[in-house]
Chain A
Amino acid sequence: MHDVNFRQFLDVLSRQGELKEVDQEVDWNLEASAILAMIYRMEGPAVLFNKIKDYPQGYRMAGALYSGPRRQPWRKMAMGLGIDPDEGYKKWQQEFNRRLDHPIKPVIVQDGFCKEVILIGEEADIFKLPIPYVHLGDGGRYGGTLPVTVTRHPVRDWVNAGNYRWMAHDKQRLGGDFQPGQHMADMYYVYEKKGESMPFCMAMGVNPALDIAAGVSLPVGANEYDVAGGLQEEPLQLVKAETNDLLVPADAEIIIEGEVLPHERLEEGPFGEYDGFMTTRLPQPVYRIKAITHRRNPILPVAPEGYRFNDTGAMSCGILSPVLQWRLEKEGFKDVLFYNIPEASWAWPVVATKPISDTDLGKLISAVWSVPTMGWLDKLLLVDDDVDITSTEELLEILGTRLRAERVYESKPNKPISFIAAWASEEELRRGLAGALTYDCVTRPEEEKPEKITIETLFKPETQKWLDNFWLRAVSR
């Protein structure tokens, strides 16, 4: 049973040496983000900033909550879900997927920590919270880097919770990225077509199970609250919002409630996005704040985007990969292993398979590309199952030594193009469609598998055992 709220999660991390507190005053204007950018590079612990410049004592910020070491990106997420991170990727993925198969519906409670302080109307000023300025060149202060934004479909019985960035336009208006194809954006466009406002709630500083569920790409109609309950193996506790009838996590640090009016647009951006580059500034719908509620001494979670090995990079390996695996298994592909290259932050999935025929490989490739989240990705690497898929170093070797020119497959330009595709011109972005490349480094059953030249293949087990002992004795001091 792993129902931990946000502060309990920080405790869990701290007890396992994965959280450090900074009591020195830190500036929300770039300084906190710079510290976290360096922490990511050093595979460092989560950081709790206890004192923020210009803000009263008690208003705090926490970052690097889900980032992880390069060879174990799922580390902190596993701690948040009560899974042992040191058992390897396969174990993490199996347990994660097992819990995905058993969602638990949330329960409604009367009260929660998120209601300790309630600000309605004029008092609901977003700048009362220590929202950071995350990159030079950003169009605004991006307080929303780890929000869980909850919206209900106007017609269908479907509530969606997802992670969508937002910045502050002014005290009561926020701007976000409404990309068609994303569930919340699609819901909004339905409301807009009907001429109605879309009520929303954003929760920040939630149970890690919910942050993880919000990062998962679920099928249309699925509810992240149920999934979060399954991940923590206990139902989420929800309360009703103050100004609308959406349900929000009861123990969240911060809740922002409001509505998005139809046909209203303000320019949002630029922002440093997950591909490692700054986006452009575009007109986007506007979140109008009606209320802000929060815990006393609220902690704002931040996840500065675009820096190598940040939360998104870790989530692509720790969350996206198991989910894609889960979906592939539902299609009948049981003997594959899915991963993402952490250096490429979401954009380069890898699938390991045992030797299969051309026909079966074709079916596998089609199945992988038809998983909806793959819609924004345009590269895929396929390798043999004896490759260590979590080692980018080995994948670079495979790409260099085993990829042949005839086995790079190009698909037709019939997939939606990612808004932030770095290689695309404005015209291509407007056209909205792109193809994809698949790098096939899989050995066919009738082919001879290239030999690995490593300690494991060159020496007998006895020599390897001697080596392990020798190395401990004589070298690693």
Chain B
Amino acid sequence: MLYRDFLDELKSCGELIEIAEEIHWDQEAAAAAAMSQREGGPALHFTQVQDGNGSSLVGALFSGPGTLYPNSSGRTPWTRLAIALGFNRDISYEELCEELLKRRERLVRPTLVTSGPCQEVIKIDDEVSLTDFPFPRHYDRDGGRYLTAGVLAVKDYYGRWANWGVCRAMVLSKNELVVNIRPESQAGRLFAEYEQHGKPMPCCFFLGGNPAAFVAAAAPVPEGVWEAEMAGAYIQSPLELASAVTNDLMIPADAEMVIEGMIMPGERQAEGPFPEYVRYAPARPRPVMRVNAITHRKSPVLPFVAEGCKVSDSMALRSVLASVELLYKVRTQTQLRVRWIYLPVESRLSICVAGCDPFYPGHNFWVSNFLSQLKEMAWFDKLLLVDSDINPADMTEVVNDWAQKTRPQKGYGFWAEEYPHVAGRTTAYAEEGEPVRTVVWDCCWNDTWKDEKHFRARVSFESSFPEDLQEQVISRWTEYGLPGKPVKKLVDPSWTRGPLHPPQLTKIPGIGGEDQ
């Protein structure tokens, strides 16, 4: 759907509110967005921005609260993602992942249109002034004003393939940006090619546009796949792209703003400080983009992300999208029974939780073995394997099993010492790049147990009472005179290794049974 339709859709189902009060781009907007991210609140559209020159800001666009505590809005980290991709807002995690798994196999090429709202206003060369727009200064100690929801579009040196990725950029002057292109990222490697040849890399930064574009750009899409095609896959319809004005890169025709330019070879400037997941990243030398043109809609609605604060847009999106990529690899490259994978937002994506069904002894060793090799792709350094009868949207149950069912001894699956890996973006105890080791917890029922009597049934509302009593209690709740709205969890009997309901005794004393 188009970007502005997306904002309207969010508003109509209570997932976005408009703030009429005037707000300043200097920390106020980011503070409010950070608060909404923390409270599990709606997206915030700041319609009146001081010195905005007609532009407005929108934050917490894809954020959503973790599933540890109940929240009355029923929001999850994937609620607004679901809406962006055209799904029902209350879709279950499993359903969303299974749908995305199917769809990502059917890439859809974007279509080229001659022009779009993204080029309603065109400013070239001397007319270019980044400071005309209310790009926020997010936090007190930041190195400058930032674009945090921009997607960088580039092509490789020989023009064979294109790449989109979300990266932040700091405003350096009225026509320069320092772009946080990490050398090891796909864009970084493409830029290295240009630098080798001593040539500048044409690029575009776009803000807004079909939300599927931002979603795909934030996902760990496989190398060689253009995020625009993956975006088309997610929504099963082609993105509409327009060509940039000063170069031939393609960007969403309905983008709010496109910043076109070139990344200069051999030039580096200090970018930062700016917070990341587990640290306030210090200023680092990063490539510089000379801006040749800015095209935008009239009165653009500029998105931004209060990055680093739980739960930021990227945390919410990656918790699902990285999990889908991991699950795809498990399903297509192994025969392991992994029902679901989730990277909890509560732990800033540092833990990968997998719902497993270990149907032979040693099964989980292979799961941890396989997933450990994908750590860098999804940024985690810890693995938590739980039984597949736990709903991934139920962190409470995950925590309980983590406490109760972990063997208090280090066993075969506990350490992945054989696989050296480096600290990533979620490791607070080591600098990025330092060698570390994975921690694996296997909290599944023992995989040598075959007998049903070893698998103890869970105690919960869904398993300790017959279905008709559950329905009765829920439907009579207000009749009883009790407050609030009861919540039933999604539990599928086919998921449990043991019984969903515990075995019934035929004779229970005091319930028409025989005395012993």
Contacts and interface: CB of A to CB of B under 8 A. Distances in A.
A393 B32 CA distance: 21
B399 A341 contact: yes
Nearest to B440: A405
Query: Main SS of chain A's interface residues?
Result: mixed
Contacts of A135: 459, 464-465, 502
B399 A455 contact: no
Interface of A: 20-24, 26, 29-31, 33-35, 37-39, 41-45, 47, 70, 127, 131, 133, 135-141, 167-170, 266-267, 270, 272-273, 275-280, 305-308, 341, 343-345, 347-348, 378-379, 392-393, 396-397, 399-406, 408, 410-411, 413, 422-423, 425, 434-437, 450-451, 453-455, 458-460, 463-464, 466-467, 470-471, 473-475
B458 A276 contact: yes
B484 A42 contact: yes
A405 B421 CA distance: 12
Given A22-B481, A400-B344, 9 more contacts: A35-B480, A141-B509, A169-B509, A272-B459, A277-B458, A343-B68, A451-B280, A464-B31, A475-B36
B405 A458 contact: no
B140 A133 contact: no
Q: Which 9 A-B pairs have the closest CB atoms?
A: A137-B502, A306-B459, A400-B347, A400-B350, A344-B403, A450-B428, A272-B459, A405-B437, A277-B456
Contacts of B278: 401, 450-451, 453
Contacts of B446: 423, 425
B470 interface: yes
Contact of A408 (B410, B430, B454, B470): B410
B459 A277 contact: yes
Contacts of A266: 516
Given A168-B509, A454-B309, A474-B19, A38 B486 contact: yes
Contact of B454 (A425, A434, A466): A425
A304 to B, nearest CB: 8
B404 A458 contact: no
B501 A133 contact: no
Query: Main SS of chain B's interface residues?
Result: loop
B59 to A, nearest CB: 12
A276 B409 contact: no
Contact of B400 (A343, A393, A471): A343
Contact of A272 (B397, B464, B487): B464
* Residue among A24, A275, A406 having the largest count of chain B Cβ atoms under 10 Å: A275
7 contacts: A24-B480, A39-B482, A169-B516, A276-B460, A408-B439, A453-B276, A475-B17
Contacts of B461: 34, 37-38, 41, 307
A41 B487 contact: yes
Nearest to B438: A405
B188 interface: no
B318 to A, nearest CB: 14
Contacts of B310: 393, 397, 454
B445 to A, nearest CB: 8
Contacts of A20: 481-483
A411 B277 CA distance: 33
Contact of A133 (B31, B399, B470, B511): B511
Chain B interface: which size bin?
Answer: 35 or more
Contact of B515 (A23, A169, A422): A169
Nearest to B464: A135
Contacts of A458: 34, 138-141, 275, 308-309
Given A136-B501, A139-B505, A344-B400, A401 B426 contact: yes
Contacts of A401: 277-278, 347-348, 350, 426-429
Nearest to A270: B502
Contacts of A397: 310, 346-348, 350
Contacts of B95: none
Contact of B406 (A70, A140, A341, A423): A423
* Residue among A30, A38, A42, A305 having the largest count of chain B Cβ atoms under 10 Å: A38
B186 to A, nearest CB: 25
Nearest to B489: A41
A420 to B, nearest CB: 9
Given A23-B481, A341-B403, A410 B68 contact: no
Contacts of B483: 20, 44-45
Given A266-B516, A278-B459, A307-B460, A133 B436 contact: no
Interface string B373-406: 0000000101000000000000111011011111
Contacts of A39: 482
Nearest to B472: A31
A434 B408 contact: yes
A353 B348 CA distance: 23
* Residue among B17, B429, B470, B511 having the largest count of chain A Cβ atoms under 10 Å: B429
B347 A34 contact: no
B195 interface: no
B158 interface: no
Contacts of B485: 42
Interface in B407-421: 407-410, 415
Nearest to A23: B481
Contacts of B28: 463, 466-467, 470
